[in-house]
Amino acid sequence: MPMPRSTRKGSSNKREITPAAARRALLRRRVIVLFCSLALALAVVTGQLFSLQVYRYPELIKAANGQTWRQVPSVARRGTIYDRNGRELAISIGTASIYARPAEIEDPDGASAALAASLGLPVKQIREQLRSKKSLIYIKRSAPLEEAEAVMRLALKGIGFDAQSRRFYPKAQQAAHLLGFVGTDDQGLEGLELQYDHYLAGKRKWVARQQDAKRRPIFREEADETQGADLHLTIDEVVQYITERELEAAVSQSGALSGSAIVMNPLSGEILALANYPTFDPNVYTEASAFARRNRAVVDYYEPGSTFKVIVGAGALEERLVRPEDRFNGEGGVIEVGGATIRDHERFDSLTFTEVLTHSSNVGAIKVGQRLGKSHYYDYISGFGFGTLTKIDLPGETPGLIRRPKEWSALSLASLSMGQEISVSPLQMLVAMSAIANGGVLVRPFIAKSIVAADGKVIRVNTPTQIRRVISEDTARTLATILKGVVTEGTGKAAAVEGFEVAGKTGTSQKIDRATRRYSRQKVVASFVGFVPVERPQLAIIVMIDEPSTLRWGGSIAAPTFREIARESLKHLRRSPTDQEPLRLAEGIRHATFRLD
């Protein structure tokens, strides 16, 4: 029968699921979910690992190195500065900066006492530093290496040091304005230290220092020592000492505000000495005033007064407008020009051109200037280098002040003939006088003779440079003879050096009173510029004394200072009176470079 068979089949399809089977099914589903979750988690972790180790690897490595490694500069040891004979004028010595991390100091009181004994500092000062809230403080900068080693032997936690180099000037104040000084970072700030900083400083290298999470040093990768090049100067240490000594004596004796002096080889342009007083010690330059640190011989200017009569005289001789024997009416020592009355320092009735310079007559110089005329006079003023830089290798040089003829007043030609209405630096005045000494050629003054690398290789050599011929050799010789008379029988008698022929010119110029804007009767500049010997000149010297309260004439204070500097320098250089043979310019600077401006 069909009906029962159908009933058996339906009962078979509707059999109940047993509890065991249900548990197995649930477990299977859980396993599948767990597997999928683990697979997903593994995929996420794998993705993160890929991102960290592959995609973000450069970024994370950089961040890690930034935390554990620090790039610190390795300061190169500056090169040494020598005088022309190899004497050290500026050297670098090893130092260390002692630092502390206050948070790491376990016993501030005990550490303060120990450090004070090693560094020679007050205990109270160090204790206050160690209790600072700052992460790092410097206890002492530029400490001697011996002190740094003593601190290291203390093995104090949180105390360390960085090795550095410190500039030292063994001669203290000597040649201070030439050498200049460096800052705490060993970078040149003034003088030759600034002018040649690129060579002296050498190349700065960076070294890697590893540190832990608290920034305590673990390892330092040392860089090879890099040393700057050495600088060899034209300066003679002994001549420099003589110049500074005599200048200081002159300023003190006359009660002056200040003074400057320069000694130069008129044939080559080499500067043998350059001094200013008051001066300073570059080892402690911060203790000096800005005025004392100022290189006034190069960066300041003044009205030269009667020393400038040499220029108007050179122009008139070169243009053949005057001869040494030509006579001028002295007008009794008084002349009217442009509505102003100009007087001589004494009464003159009649003078030759030679006597105009020998006795420094204002009236005579004005008449010479009138013969020369504005245009020609301006050409000679410019030709001798006034109004432009000498291009000496020192920073901050002034070109001086000079107006063009179209800006001159009716009085200007007369004033300029006496050395007024123009401002020059002592260096410019000396370079102009050197052109007369060497036969009529303007030469460039320089101080650095050569630059030598640490390995002994010569990097640069400065050689004598002729700028241009300003007067003929005959004019220079005639003028030198006239200027010799200034010393033998004129206003510069006090400049005479026994056994040697000296040529030169005195100057006493009034200064402008800033309150009245007129020439002061009390404030003057006394100067003397000249050369020695007249034949085969070896030294050209200028002495400028600013605002002397006594001995207010160039012939009474600057001339005798010139004499002392010249006499002692010639003695040091072993020049004797018998060496005075005629010398032409070509012999003195045969290998010079000729350059036209």
CA distances in angstroms from 135 to 102, 130, 139, 342, listed in the order given: 7, 10, 13, 73
Give the active site residue among 118, 260, 306, 434. Answer: 306
Identify the sign of the CA torsion 154, 159, 162, 168: negative
Rounded (5°) CA angle 585-588-589: 90
In the residue annotation, 51 being an active-site residue is answered as no
Three-state SS for 260? strand
Three-state SS for 510? strand
Nearest to 74 by CA among 229, 196, 226: 226
Q: Report whether 259 contacts 276 (CB < 8 A).
A: yes
Work out the burial of residue 78: count CB atoms within 10 Å of its CB; fewer than 13 is exposed, 13-18 middle, 19 or more buried.
buried
The CA distance from 291 to 178, in Å, is: 15
DSSP strands (E only) in 368-517: 441-443, 448-452, 458-461, 465-469, 503-513
Rg (CA), the chain: 40
DSSP strands (E only) in 205-290: 205-211, 217-220, 230-233, 258-264, 271-277
Three-state SS for 213? coil
Task: Spell out the residues 6+ positions from residue 518 whose beta carbon is closer than 8 angstroms to its own.
Answer: 512
b/e code 302-326 from CB counts within 10 Å (16+ = b): bbbbbbbbbbbbbbbbbbebbebee
What 8-state DSSP symbol labels residue 285? G
Q: Report whether 307 contacts 506 (CB < 8 A).
A: yes
Helix-strand-coil percent breakdown of the chain, rounded to 5?
40, 25, 35
The CA distance from 176 to 89, in Å, is: 9
Max alpha carbon distance in the chain (Å)?
176
The CA distance from 56 to 401, in Å, is: 66
Q: Report whether 326 contacts 529 (CB < 8 A).
A: no
The CA distance from 444 to 430, in Å, is: 11
What 8-state DSSP symbol labels residue 277? E
The CA distance from 98 to 31, in Å, is: 66
Task: Please give the positions annotated as active site.
Answer: 306
